[in-house]
Structure 1
């Protein structure tokens, strides 16, 4: 429905559509009181509830209210109705920095200005306990004065998101800009991962292309893990030295923000290149829970879809879950026997779950429905040598027509798990497209689903 010309909350006149995604649309709007242009992101509550993204929206609101910096897109206010959430934000009309880089490399003086403003913004975010976790040129906007504005805090993490080991454990970010320790999936310092992304961005601004790229995705991630890249011949020696220290695959020795800001190349023209400082203006208190509360009907629909709606995998997730792209060997020597198997299926999620439930009855296992989206648990009826056998089944959506299914031991004896899996595997043949990590017979012509899906997902992430 075209909302152009509509008056929102008696405050804003909506203008043209600036962009849209699966769950939200962004409109240019005008504040009726003072005529100032703003951008309004309209989020559909029902849609984000169905896919379990409400916590992410709450986090984005909390993060954007914490960050008040001249090089970060400002959140003016948040409003809501029973079905919609409205983010009223600073309108940044210069477009994405990505659009500039897509035309070719930038002059060193221009690239340094944007890098200075990026580091200034990231340093401030880190000082407030916020890690962005998805820094890339597509999330860096330019205002009418050519100043950089960091946007899209949907994947950001607050300090309280860390686990007891003090590290983050959620894999996210865009593959080409992600740090080696994030690939490792064993926990990482979000601020150090952000610094790596800043280094990749600086390289892209000066070179016009990515430092880590290869037609083979496994090879590309191997290069990231070892920080294997080459500088173009036009890179000055001092900027080569700076980028090398930032793109250090060891996060403990990677250059810190404070050291970057002390660097002689970084400091050239620093004061004149930083965004104009504004007075810090605290936002009024906001009841985030009330803003994000759902209608009763939406809550009911969410409960009904907990099993049938699988989690969507982005390109990075797909690489991480695919045994053919297992990169753990780049970082550690582990001889532990894996207690999970995965297969690809071209059947709907409901069909996969129905098959598993039917199989559980045949094998005298009970089905325990979990609250987590796209997950069910199969349990033995009696306790074995090491307790009750537990097998978790989780479905991930790669495309609407293709799913990745992971079956893993969650409790009980390993030998008992392996014995049951010998019965489960052949019984699933009518829903299995291909088992992960297993070569096909020579007379069996089955297309490898990994590469085309990875290329498709990766291209979408990099758009």
Structure 2
């Protein structure tokens, strides 16, 4: 159960276009259901099993892998089992990191600031993980990514032996040879990644600065923007002709001007009977407040702007139906930010979700209770958890 809790809590915070999405978790008395993004292209392993990939193709996958792993590390999440079998592909051949069953959060570190659980797949695991003296999860993930890069370009593993202890010896001393077809800049990069000394191992930031990596680079901000637009049902036209293009068709202007629409599955998933969040309170990085309103979206948006003016908050419009409210004064954990998102159920009936985007959780709860909820009273029909709607 602890492993399931950890995997769910991890996947709730690693929302990135190159990571398989967990859309919903539901349960019956005997089963837990993960509703996940469908990766139509299958495992990257199946491509590599047919032989080495072309350099440009391998670079594209490696860039997407680095972007995903870098994002995980920025959220203090360490995958710990990166290998081609856990890297899936969508219908456009874009990479999706999956299987966070062995992942660790920063809270898993001991007093020495290191992780101590030996896990992963032997051929891809970093030497310090085998050493059982504690390891930096980020450095260990980088090593595994280096092994993946080698496999993509070579078509075989850098460390392989029928005797497991001999393979561990090769890993510990970085005893491997690059094939003759590896370009010099790739050889240099892989040597820096597969450095058996984790303190000397290259960082993701330095990997992204390497000349070989930058040849096919697409900015992470551009990728994130595509992901956000896809998830909200709003697609912006892109001038990029990169191979990492999302391939999602443009929508009409009218659709851009409407908040996201909730289908029956979405509505059911908000039901308390299907909500497992209480099982994962200890891991949950965010808190949400939801209410319904019988006012049109334009009135709700006007009210949110009015509240922002009243409390002197910054308002940032991310897209139709999604606003970010930010306090100007810094709190205990930085600036408090709240995402306010409007979902259309019918033309005159909406669900609004308020979610902490940044800052301290206690300050967020206080702001919701003392300021936001009272100010919204005249447009609220019913708050989630309340039994009786307000007359309107």
TM-score class normalised by the smaller sequence: 0.5 to 0.7
Asked whether 1:250 is paired with 2:239, we answer: no
The 2-side partners of 1:291 and 1:198 are apart by: 30
Q: Following the alignment from structure 1 to structure 2, what is the Cα–Cα distance between the partners of residues 75 and 256?
A: 28
Match of 1:278 in 2: 227
**What is the CA–CA distance in structure 2 between the aligned matches of 1:163 and 1:86, rounded to whole Å?**
32
Instruction: Tell me how far 1:251 sits from its aligned partner.
Output: 0.4
2:75 maps to what in 1? 128
Counterparts of 1:106 and 1:97, CA distance in 2: 11
> Contact 1:117–1:275 at 8 Å: present in 2 too?
no
1:290 aligns with 2:290: no
- Rounded to whole Å, the distance in 2 between the matches of 1:138 and 1:196 is 16
Residue 99 of structure 1 pairs with residue 46 of structure 2 = yes
Matches within 5 A, 1:342-381: none
Q: Secondary structure in 2 aligned to 1:191?
A: helix
Contact 1:58–1:288 (8 Å) recurs in 2: no
Q: Is the 8 A contact 1:147 1:275 kept in 2?
A: no
Deviation at 1:217, TM superposition (A): 1.7
Change (3 A) 1:202 1:252: same
Matched, 1:186 2:133: yes
Residue 78 in structure 1 maps to residue 25 in structure 2: yes
CA distance in 1, matches of 2:31, 2:209: 45
Structure 2 residue 197 is the aligned partner of structure 1 residue 208: no
TM-score, normalised via structure 1 length: 0.50
Of 56, 72, 85, which residue of structure 2 is paired with 1:138? Answer: 85
Q: Distance in 2 between matches of 1:90 and 1:279?
A: 15
Distance 1:118 1:135 in 2: 9
**Counterpart among 119, 122, 130 of residue 172 in structure 1:** 119
TM-aligned CA deviation for residue 290 of structure 1: 3.4
CA deviations 1:338-395 (Å, max 9, x no partner) are xxxxxxxxxxxxxxxxxxxxxxxxxxxxxxxxxxxxxxxxxxxxxxxxxxxxxxxxxx
Tell me if structure 2 keeps the 8 A contact 1:114–1:147.
yes
Aligned equivalents of 2:201 and 2:109: distance in 1? 20
Q: Give the alignment of 1:421-436 within 5 angstroms.
A: none
1:288: how far off? 3.9
Q: Which ranges in structure 2 are unaligned for 5 or more consecutive residues? A: 233-268, 282-392
Structure 2 CA distance, aligned partners of 1:118 and 1:275? 13
Do the aligned residues in 2 keep the contact of 1:203 with 1:210 (CA within 8 Å)?
yes
Aligned mate of 2:168, from 193, 198, 221: 221
Deviation at 1:275, TM superposition (A): 5.1
Supply the distance in 1 between the matched residues of 2:201 and 2:61 (Cα, whole angstroms). Answer: 21
* Equivalent pair of 1:133/1:194 in contact (CA under 8 Å): yes
* 1:146–1:275 Cα change, 3 Å: farther
Give me the whole-angstrom Cα distance separating, in 1, the residues matched to 2:280 and 2:106: 22
Distance 1:183 1:126 in 2: 21
> For the Cα contact (< 8 Å) 2:25–2:276, is it kept in 1?
no
Asked whether the equivalents of residues 76 and 90 of structure 1 are also in contact (C-alpha less than 8 Å), the reply is yes
Residue 22 of structure 1: aligned partner = none
1:253 deviation in Å? Answer: 0.6
**CA shift for structure 1 position 269:** 2.1
Unaligned residue ranges in structure 1 (runs of 5+) = 1-53, 293-463
Residues in 1 aligned to 2:278 and 2:134: alpha-carbon distance in whole angstroms: 29
What is the distance in 2 between the residues matched to 1:177 and 1:159? 22
CA distance in 2, matches of 1:253, 1:290: 41
1:57 alignment partner in structure 2: 4
Deviation, structure 1 residue 121: 0.2
Runs of 4+ in 1 over 6 A off after TM superposition: 280-285
Give secondary structure in 1 for the equivalent of 2:227. coil
Aligned to 2:214: 267
